[in-house]
Amino acid sequence: MKITVGRGSCGIAAGANEILALLEQYVQGMGLACPVLTTGCIGMCCLEPIVNVTDGKGNTAIYTGVTPEAAQEILKDLAGQESRAEQYKILSVDLENLNAQTRIALKNCGWIDPENIEEYIEKQGYEAIKKCVAEMTPGQVIEELKASGLAGRGGAGFPTWFKWQAARSSQGTEKYVICNADEGDPGAFMDRAIIEGDPHAIIEGMMIAAYAIGARQGIVYVRAEYPLAILRLEKALAQAREYQILGKNLFGSSFSLDIQIKAGAGAFVCGEETALIASLQGERGMPRLKPPFPAQEGLWQKPSNINNVETFANVPWIIRNGGSAFSCMGTEHSKGTKVFALTGKVARGGLVEIPMGETIHKIVYGMGGGIKGGSQCKAVQVGGPSGGCIPADLFDTPIDYHALSATGAIMGSGGMVVMDQDSCMVDMARYFLDFTCKESCGKCTHCRIGTRRMLEILERICDGHGSEGDIELLEGLSEQIRAGSLCALGQTAPNPVLTTIRYFRGEYQAHINCKKCAAHQCKPLLIYRIIPEKCVGCTLCAKKCPADAIAGDHKRVHTVVDDKCVKCGKCVEACRFGAVEVE
């Protein structure tokens, strides 16, 4: 029997470290012969802290939202004492959603100890690279990837096998395999969770790529804001070297490989492969023209292959099970599974992994449980800040590179930000454009200045100073930025603006022509009014107002002085009679 505590970043933030320490203390005090171990995030971030109890027969009970009191009850149950542990067990709907997933990249996350190589090996770990070295030529490995249809999961969706073949075909004995773990999208945490929960899968995937292209050196470029991921990856690499899985003449062959870690400074643009290479070389992270492609001239002008974390995490499974097994899942143009990070107003936030072709509706309402509080969903931003807003009436759209592109969005790395009726779509476009504007490296005039001009227009509209022609100006600037930008950051930066105009044009027009924000999110457009029939003159609203913007004597009807009102909403919170309304 063993106890495991989910200690991904989300679990630790929810108090998992405290639960782990208490369980260790209680187990020792109660004299239970039961190890207390660590695991990564299982994907149900909204239910953390999560504790798994596995008996001698391999049956696992999952406990969610575990408090110190719950930890005691769980151990009482294990000791055969009367307890209330049952009430902390995972709900059937959450268990059904977990079991309904098809987990390949997330296969081990939440189930094995990421800091123990033995547990990874017990789950067929490193069998795929041994198979490649012992039974397959590099060309056969690439053919297996080709048969799988695996496309890059970092956003571009480029065929993985093609990149590997290009790097293999390039002249030179010195080549590099690089893992792009520079996950910078707001609301995206797929790569972080995979590294924290299953770092050896990334190592093995990189080893297979290195064998296929003829590289002897690997590098993981991971953002420094992921300290736990870096720590676990460092431990995994040290263990792999100790077990002689990394090093020289591996598995009795001529294949040699070592992998190093490079912590990036957190520039979003370094997710673009040529900017990433520049950063690795100690230069400012800025994209360059292609060709030559990294497969021809990459790191230090040597042939280099770059894939993201999720892409590499799929590779060992494909080699073990065959490319055809992977390609059987998904759609004609999008094979396999995809991991999505659900955030925003969704009821059950976290990670889900499903076959390509499932609908947005199934993810948001099935896996995600709909909107918090049961309100209506308005839209979902797919693909991060470079993606697009898809309205609720298009939620039957399948998760497919082609289908999402038709809506104006992109697959991206897999972030999904869910919005309800209280979300202002103009403000959401402003938020995402503010991010890409700040993250622009500044190399391209269209991106550097064009996104700034677009942001200024959106800020004017949200501040109530929008004017006729602003929508058309935004559309025109978007097309110029798309056409004139060097890399995908600039080329896709207008997507949130264009999709919100396409599907929510009425909100833009209301902001510009009527100076109204129906979602009540743009403060300068809000007007606070006191309803005379409901006001009893209690003065609570006046006492709470920080700007002295409410006039009226005790037991007489009050009024809001518009010139003084700072739109803070304190009066609405203070009124017990519903006398304050917001227009």
Q: Is residue 67 part of a domain?
A: yes
Q: Is residue 112 part of a domain?
A: no
CB–CB of 515/525 below 8 Å? yes
Name the DSSP class of 126.
Answer: T
Same domain? For 308 and 344 the reply is no
Q: Is residue 521 part of a domain?
A: no
CB–CB of 313/333 below 8 Å? no
pTM for this entry: 0.93
- Residues 29-46 have pLDDT tens digits of 888 888 999 999 999 999
Same domain? For 373 and 287 the reply is no
- Residues 354-378 have pLDDT tens digits of 999 999 999 999 999 999 888 899 9
Same domain? For 344 and 437 the reply is no
- Residues 532-552 have pLDDT tens digits of 999 999 999 999 999 999 999
Same domain? For 391 and 439 the reply is no
The torsion region of residue 578 among left (phi > 0), alpha (psi -120 to 50) and beta comes to left
Same domain? For 284 and 149 the reply is yes
Residue 240's CATH number: 3.40.50.11540
In angstroms and rounded to an integer, the radius of gyration of the C-alpha atoms of the chain is 27
Residue 554's CATH number: 3.30.70.20
Q: Beta 51-54 vs 60-63: how paired, if at all?
A: antiparallel
- Residues 475-513 have pLDDT tens digits of 999 999 999 999 999 999 999 999 999 999 999 999 999
Instruction: Choose the final residue of a domain: 70, 99, 128.
Output: 99
CB–CB of 362/355 below 8 Å? no
Same domain? For 467 and 486 the reply is yes
pLDDT band per the 50, 70, 90 thresholds, residue 6: very high
CB–CB of 307/181 below 8 Å? no
Specify the higher pLDDT residue, 212 or 410.
212
Instruction: Choose the final residue of a domain: 385, 420, 455.
Output: 420
Q: Is residue 108 part of a domain?
A: no
Q: Is residue 128 part of a domain?
A: yes
Q: Is residue 110 part of a domain?
A: no
What tokens appear for 242 in the block?
């100790």
Residue 372's CATH number: 3.10.20.600
Same domain? For 40 and 181 the reply is no
Q: Is residue 105 part of a domain?
A: no
Instruction: Choose the final residue of a domain: 401, 420, 439.
Output: 420
Same domain? For 437 and 492 the reply is yes
Domain hosting 399: range is: 337-420
The torsion region of residue 485 among left (phi > 0), alpha (psi -120 to 50) and beta comes to beta
Same domain? For 341 and 307 the reply is no
Residue 474's CATH number: 1.20.1440.230
Domain count, the chain: 5
Predicted confidence at residue 322, as pLDDT, reads 97
Same domain? For 173 and 210 the reply is yes
Same domain? For 186 and 323 the reply is yes
Same domain? For 170 and 258 the reply is yes
Mean pLDDT, the chain, whole residue set: 95
pLDDT band per the 50, 70, 90 thresholds, residue 56: confident
Q: Is residue 520 part of a domain?
A: no
